[in-house]
Amino acid sequence: MNLLIKGGRVIDPSQGIDEIMDVLIADGVVLELGQGIATPEGTQAIDATGLLVTPGLIDMHVHLRDPGLEYKEDIATGSRAAAAGGFTSVACMPNTSPVIDNKAVASYVVNKAQSEALVNVFPIGSITKGSKGDSLAEMGDLKEAGCVAVSDDGKPVCNSELMRRALEYAKGIGITVISHSEDLALVGEGVMNEGFVATELGLKGIPWAAEDIAVAREVYLAEFASAPVHIAHISTAGSARIIRNAKARGVKVTCETAPHYFTLTDDAVRGYNTNAKMNPPLRGESDVAAMKAGLADGTIDAIATDHAPHHPDEKDVEFNVALNGIVGLETSLPLSLKLVEEGVLDLKGLVSVMSCNPAKILGIDRGTLRVGAVGDVTVIDPGKEWQVDAAKLESKSKNSPFLGWKMKGKAVYTVVKGQVVYQA
């Protein structure tokens, strides 16, 4: 069926468009953009008056837990959560069981997504075999099987020589390297941000230097190898400063942050709230301000959720032993729209960091509404108010620090290849 989205405010930074328009999708691709497009016979019509119409949102950092950890999430439930959050594409990290470090596991994810997922699922392979940091995985095979990037996310590649070779090899075959940047020796037994709150709660802290030192290494390796690198989930003012300075001297570095890093501080941990335990940890107010400044000036290229579902039994335990991570696919859009309300980003800037830029970094043919492009569209009601209710979340897991929060802004239609896969 063809689809006509009528009278919405179309925002597409890839074409410099911000105006009231219609979008006609036929056979899964954008056929026409314009005003007053007549509805062809047999076409489904969506009245988008008063709504925002954007290229489909892309989350370049999620954990779908499939294969092997489906008790937390699977491709079907994770894609439903993505669709409910307005995301038409997600890139899933390789720390599954087994790890996505070979063609067979990558092909399993691709094939299962084709049969079960509501949205596009792009797998990310591991940099090293088993994500153990000892030897490089077969990146060429991973790319051939459909992987759009490589990462040992959840673990840093501690061996600098190995990381150098990873960057050089990935550059040669045209695949993105995503770095999980932390100095494990400095992290030690830390479980939250090192500072006043950690001291008050009697919890071991993780200093900002653990992230900054690791980010600096990746920047210098990328500069040395003349190869691109993408830094995952930055959380510190120092990381933003290092990346800003590197970009200024021409280093091919991109980075992302997550909504929790520009919304919450380590105060959220008070009461030993394990839903506020993540890696990297929530930081201080100056770091939150730095994330906003980095988004405003283009230092930070993308907003990604780091959607990390966990079973209640892994969170309803002592803070020290609780697993890191939160679900984020269904709360990312309203938290990010708050940046527009605060004047940190305009709507074009928001769509850039949530759609166009992730597509560019991953090298996927998404993030645009150009004629001929895949018909992935998100229709957003920026004024829609709703409350985060665990019972209504599509994700299999409910580990969110935003439960009970009143949100403003919601995807009301999520369209993948011209098909409505979610309607609020």
Q: Among all residues, which ones are annotated catalytic?
A: 306
| Closest among 280, 281, 308 to 397, alpha carbons compared | 308
Question: Reduced to 3 states, what is the DSSP secondary structure of residue 40?
Answer: coil
Q: Are 347 and 387 in contact (CB under 8 A)?
A: no
Is the CB of residue 96 less than 8 Å from the CB of residue 129? no
Bridging pattern class, strands 52-55 and 377-387: antiparallel
Residue 417 and residue 387: Cα distance in Å, rounded?
Answer: 29
Scan for tokens 């959560």, then name that residue.
81
Q: Distance between CA atoms of 417 and 45, rounded to whole angstroms? A: 15
Quote the CA–CA distance of 367 and 56 in Å, as a whole number: 6
Residues tagged in the binding site annotation for Zn(2+): 61, 63, 153, 180, 233, 306
- Number of other residues whose CB lies within 10 A of the CB of residue 76: 18
DSSP string, 3-31: EEEEEEEEEETTTTEEEEEEEEEETTEEE
Q: How far apart are CA 204 and CA 130, in angstroms?
A: 29
Cβ-contact 335, 353 below 8 angstroms: no
Q: Is the separation of the CB atoms in 266 and 286 below 8 Å?
A: no
Strand partners, 407: 386
**Alpha-carbon span 329 to 333, nearest angstrom:** 8
Bridge partner residues of 24 (DSSP):
4, 32
Q: Which residues are CB-contacts of 245 (< 8 A; sequence separation ≥ 6)?
A: none
- How far is residue 179's CA from residue 230's CA, in Å, rounded to a whole number? 6
Q: Which two tokens stand for residue 124?
A: 């990310």
Annotated binding-site ranges: 61, 63-65, 95, 153, 180, 233, 279, 306, 310
Known binding-site positions for substrate: 63-65, 95, 279, 310
Cβ count near 15 (within 10 Å):
16
Report yes or no: 14 and 55 within 8 Å, Cβ to Cβ. yes
